[in-house]
Amino acid sequence: MASLTPGSLLGGGKYVIVKELNRGGSAVVMEAVQTTTGRRVALKVVQPPADRLPGAVRTHQREVAAAAALSSSGVIAALLAEFTEPGMLVTVWELVDGMDLLDYLNSRGGVLAEAEAAPLFAQLVHGIRLIHEAGLVHRDVKGENVMLEAGTGRIKIIDFGLSKRQQSAVTLGVGTIDYMPPELLGTSGDFSVLKHRQTASYDGCAVDVWASGVLLYLFSTGAYPFENPLCPQNVVETLKNIARCAYRPLPERLSPALQDLLQRMLCPDPAQRIALEQVAAHPWLAAHGAAAASTGATASPAAAPSSPVSSAAAAAGQAMETEAEAPLPASYAAPTPATFSFGTHVECKPTPQMVPAAPAVPAAPATPPALGAAVQLPASPSTPDAAAARHGFLGAFTSCWFSRT
């Protein structure tokens, strides 16, 4: 198996490992340099055990296909290439210099003023609308999966490992617990969907709306809406609160418009939950000059993937179209129970560029930025607060890629 230690080469010598950026239950993300151009990139490396190889391949295929479908949207980190090493599935991504929204929230004291939260949230809504207009759902919207780019203030949505075509999203119990809506918990009352795969029909777009509402609640209050403050580490208590939609009372300091938006996004009935288009035009965003018009559908669900990466994903079992078990292509078969080698390398043809080392980033401005205005991000906190630490515990099975500055 190839090494991930600094200085190691991957992809036939095309990438040299620099350092580890992040690690989750399913993947490790490494900063690397493309040896032919000097470009800094992020490598997401999945090393599944042999018994989990089929599921890992399908997740890999979904992520590649989703990135290909959204390649022109400008709201996701760009997928540059994919390849395999013995025992590894590797995707190569644009390295986003900045921090994720959870780190940004912590750097601002744990709570954002409404005037600061609104422009960021408007960008998030715009990005998710583009995902939906491409016929996809994300299913793991959360602060750690949204990057805030240093110097520009633009957000980029990452980690499409749970993304699906809207019509084929049927698996319950997916995502991160704090952001999971009631309809994904099943009807048994015992939360067995988190242990054993179960399926049911649901609206994946409404799932993303709910998760976005949880994130807005976190921005505005500094707390997760469904955790029990007396035992915040108790996952079962959180699940019980989600099932009955018992979120913490909204602080009186929040404006009536923001309270209305949160209540409509956290509606337990997905059929009555506010649609994302209505969120974009909500008076709360308009009051802060952040209401969004039509997205313009820059990503088309009807457009056929044309890049080498997306073509490879389409040929590998159409993983975006079904959640059912499917036979693996021969190129993905494991030769032995202990080790496997895929032996493929597919690469897009981005314009080569030299990316200089990221400069030091000064402290955040005292006044909130306007939508689309340049933002200089503060350094990531060296010690995450209790909420961030707990969230990392609950969401350890997902991963993201970013460069901390």
Q: Does 194 score more than 50 pLDDT?
A: yes
Which pLDDT does position 154 carry in this prediction? 92
Q: Considering only CA atoms, which of 178, 159, 186 is closest in space to residue 44?
A: 159
Q: Which range among 74-83, 108-117, 317-326 has the greatest average pLDDT?
A: 108-117
| 44 appears as a binding residue in the annotation | yes
**Domains of the chain listed by start with CATH number:** 110-298+364-384 (1.10.510.10)
- Separation between Cα atoms, residue 362 and residue 353, nearest integer Å: 26
Q: How confident is the model at residue 352 (pLDDT cuts 50, 70, 90)?
A: very low
| 145 appears as a binding residue in the annotation | yes
Catalytic-residue membership of 140:
yes
Q: What value does the mean pLDDT of the chain take?
A: 75
Q: How confident is the model at residue 292 (pLDDT cuts 50, 70, 90)?
A: low
Q: What is the dihedral of CA 195, 197, 202, 205, to 10 degrees?
A: 70
Q: Does 9 score more than 90 pLDDT?
A: yes
132 near 173, Cβ under 8 Å?
A: no
Which pLDDT does position 300 carry in this prediction? 34
Q: Does 56 score more than 80 pLDDT?
A: yes
Which pLDDT does position 27 carry in this prediction? 86
| 144 appears as a binding residue in the annotation | yes
299 near 40, Cβ under 8 Å?
A: no
Catalytic residue among 103, 140, 178, 208: 140
Q: How confident is the model at residue 159 (pLDDT cuts 50, 70, 90)?
A: confident
317 near 327, Cβ under 8 Å?
A: yes
Q: Does 258 score more than 90 pLDDT?
A: yes
Q: Quickly tell me which residue has 């750690």 as its tokens.
A: 144
108 near 148, Cβ under 8 Å?
A: no
Q: Does 246 score more than 80 pLDDT?
A: yes
Mean pLDDT of 63-86: 83
Q: Quickly tell me which residue has 């205005």 as its tokens.
A: 373
* Range from 47-61, 158-172, 251-265 carrying the lowest mean pLDDT: 158-172
Compute the C-alpha angle 264/270/276, nearest 5°: 55
At 365-377, the pLDDT tens digits run 444 444 444 444 4
Q: Does 137 score more than 80 pLDDT?
A: yes
| 241 appears as a binding residue in the annotation | no
CB count in 10 Å sphere of residue 188? 9
